[in-house]
Structure 1
Amino acid sequence: MRAVKWRIGFGARLLFAQALVILAGGITLLVVALGLAPGIFREHVENAVGPMTSEMAAHLDMAFSQAILLSLAVAIAVATLTALAVGWFVSRRAVRPLRGLAEAAGAVASGDYSVRVPRSGDGTELDSLADAFGQMASSLARTEKSRAEVLRDLSHELRTPLSTVRGYHEAIADGILPADRATFERIDAEISRIERLVDDVGRVSSAEERGLDLHFKDVAVGDLLRVAARAEALAFEAKGVRLTLGPDASTRSITVDTDRIQEVLANLLENALRHTPAGGLVEMSARSVAQGVAITVKDSGDGIAAEYLPRVFERFYRVDDGRSRGAGGTGIGLAIARALTEAHGGHIRAESAGAGKGTSFFVTLPARGPDRDCP
């Protein structure tokens, strides 16, 4: 038969600890008083009445010791009862918010992220704990909502190319389409699209979870911009969009993983090209700021309405049909750019005067990597 384990609550432990403190203080007071007080009392009596016989001295010592013992015993008993009463009240006040916090934590563990712990007013520490719990619950709620949206969007994104592949497969099986090179190229294009989508999701997840293996080195900002511009030059030329380099802060060097930052710039340039019509302009520039360097990619394209700006970096988010799958994007390029930028200790933001008025993306990177040693 298993032994029953007694579980003592925090309030009882607190009360017991207070009782031990009182008891220890009382015993200490009693020992010190009985050790010092009789001798001091006898000395004062002798100074007042003169020398005493040994019998009288012993009687005075006994009488004084008994008086001290009785007085201290009564005082300690009363003080203990009073302190225990006050301690019981205080422990109840201290335990109540902790009990509420434990219940709220249990609710969050069960999936209820709406629960909050009100401030008890029993101390700044407990109030700070309640505030921190509320922030944690809000963060978990946002994370859970984002997770659900990502799963839903990923399912939606995969359904279209998979349906297309199945359609081609059935058409070939039924003899509607010939099993020739052109048909298989179209199937291969849809499969490549699925692979690109899966790779993009993996990259952004690794970046957001700080799971990337970043290789930092010093590089001139101007070199980063020029390499990115050369890599996208043919695509811009084919669409008839002009790509220019503005001020590039060439004299400034930063410590980054050049491949990852090139990926950030490539995503921003591809996004700008996708939403800038032929004859439009995309300008890439950089300037020194207090934190390090701010890189700007500015286009004269579709623009973004103010209400959509806070969401442009979310996975799979598209503002409108102009930012659709048909335009060639997976809807995750900007999410990758944000994750890679933040992995470098920087931040990214978007600005637009509205629909049809172009968009500017600003990538701010620190001069040094985020607490990493450079080779």
Structure 2
Amino acid sequence: MSRPRTRGGWGRRLLWTQAAVVAAMAGTMVLTALAVGPAWFRAHLHEAADPRHDVVAHAQQAFAEAGLVSLAVGLGAAMLVALGVATVLNRSLAQGVEALVDGARQVAAGRYGHPVTPPSSSPELAQVAEAFNRMAARIAATEQTRRRMLTDLGHELRTPLAATQVTLEGLQDGVVEFTPEAVAVLLRQNRRLTALAADISEVSRAEEGAIALSPSRQDLAQLVEASAVAARHAFDAAGVRLDVQAAGGVVVEVDPARLGQVMDNLLRNALQHTVAGDRVLVTAGHETGGAVVRVADTGVGIPTEALPHVFERFYRLEHTRTRDVDGGTGVGLAICRAIARAQGGELSCRSEGPGHGATFTLTLPAAAS
């Protein structure tokens, strides 16, 4: 199959540049020859009019000298014109390359906020500059993620490390006895550190768009009900009612393990912000635009000013949390939104304020039939 021709290809542009230079040289030589040759030839013929000179010899000499002079002057002028034309045509290319080199130096120096803007009308250079700017923006985002991760990690490590240190120092000084309770404190903080390390790695990959997915056609109702079955024991123990209303026949193209991870986080979050007697309702079905899963609770609700920050890493509404659920590190909702977006969906939150509960809505594109 023949390759499609693209407008503004480098080969065509270089060909036109070379053709312009050759045309300039040829035109200059012809014009110079027409201007110099006849005058030189005419002067020799005037000399040949003298009876003392051989007319034929003068004519031959006039032809030869006129041709040589025309060629020399024309070639010199053509070279100068061609040089000027080549300089003008290649100036934009040189400026574009210099802009790319300067941009590369800026990125190498850690300055990512200097996008390349080549002063060239070349579509190829514009595409290279656009790709370079996207690369610089990606590097800047990754670097920002790394810095935020280190800051967040340092902040989150303080509590479990401090609790572990206090317990160990108490054991060393004899203030705390080596009892099952002391061991339980150490194990609990160790589990927290382990979960924190895993979630930090997961959320960093999520924010950089590097989540591994294995999508397949899945029945949405079965996935939702499986998550509810896994969480029901914790809800029953807390005295919180968990209801599921999932319409059958809704097929989605998702990674079932990742969607289960999202549902587990949403149910655990609902349990953390409800009390005995509250209700959590999970609905799933098809709406305009795709498949929708909602996790609505009648718990403590979310203040209006906190809603924009719900999906930020390590953002916790501690004063609204009714209980601690094992495994929570403060990045679950951030990971959930990243997973939803990686599968072409979205995760949003709505609350009428404190005392009115909260509703998390997961939208996913329905699989093609």
TM-score by length of 1: 0.70
Shift of the alpha carbon at 1:210? 6.9
Q: Which residue of 2 aligns with 1:331?
A: 330
Distance 1:122 1:305 in 2: 52
Superposed counterparts of 1:142-153, under 5 Å: 142-153=141-152
SS of aligned partner of 2:363: strand
Distance 2:99 2:242 in 1: 59
2:142–2:208 CA contact under 8 A, matched in 1: no
- The farther-off stretch of 208-217 and 79-88 is 208-217
Distance 1:339 1:201 in 2: 13
> Unaligned stretches of 5+ in structure 2?
1-12, 30-58
Are 1:281 and 2:290 matched, yes or no? no
Does the C-alpha gap of structure 1 residues 71 and 189 become closer, same or farther in structure 2, counting only changes over 3 Å? same
Distance 1:353 1:230 in 2: 26
SS of aligned partner of 1:269: helix
TM-superposition CA deviations, 1:128-175 (whole Å, max 9, x none) = 655554454444333322211111111221221122112111111111
- The farther-off stretch of 133-142 and 317-326 is 317-326
Distance 1:192 1:270 in 2: 17
Give the aligned residue type for 1:340: I
Are 1:340 and 2:339 matched, yes or no? yes
Does the C-alpha gap of structure 1 residues 22 and 86 become closer, same or farther in structure 2, counting only changes over 3 Å? closer
2:244–2:283 CA contact under 8 A, matched in 1: yes
Does the C-alpha gap of structure 1 residues 250 and 75 become closer, same or farther in structure 2, counting only changes over 3 Å? farther
Shift of the alpha carbon at 1:268? 0.9
Q: Which residue of 1 aligns with 2:249?
A: 251
Give 2:315's match in structure 1, choosing from 309, 314, 317.
317
Distance 2:311 2:222 in 1: 26
1:325–1:331 CA contact under 8 A, matched in 2: no
Are 1:177 and 2:176 matched, yes or no? yes
Distance 1:294 1:67 in 2: 89
Distance 1:139 1:213 in 2: 19
Shift of the alpha carbon at 1:299? 2.8
Give 1:268's match in structure 2, choosing from 260, 266, 269.
266
Superposed counterparts of 1:28-177, under 5 Å: 77-118=76-117, 120=119, 122-123=121-122, 126-127=125-126, 129-130=128-129, 133-177=132-176
Distance 1:94 1:200 in 2: 48
> Unaligned stretches of 5+ in structure 1?
1-13, 31-59, 370-375
2:336–2:347 CA contact under 8 A, matched in 1: no
Distance 2:331 2:169 in 1: 30
Distance 1:196 1:107 in 2: 38
1:306–1:352 CA contact under 8 A, matched in 2: no
TM-superposition CA deviations, 1:48-73 (whole Å, max 9, x none) = xxxxxxxxxxxx9x999998897677
SS of aligned partner of 2:337: helix
TM-score by length of 2: 0.71
Q: Which residue of 2 aligns with 1:240?
A: 239
Distance 1:134 1:354 in 2: 42
1:150–1:315 CA contact under 8 A, matched in 2: no
2:316–2:330 CA contact under 8 A, matched in 1: yes
Does the C-alpha gap of structure 1 residues 140 and 325 become closer, same or farther in structure 2, counting only changes over 3 Å? farther
Does the C-alpha gap of structure 1 residues 98 and 304 become closer, same or farther in structure 2, counting only changes over 3 Å? farther
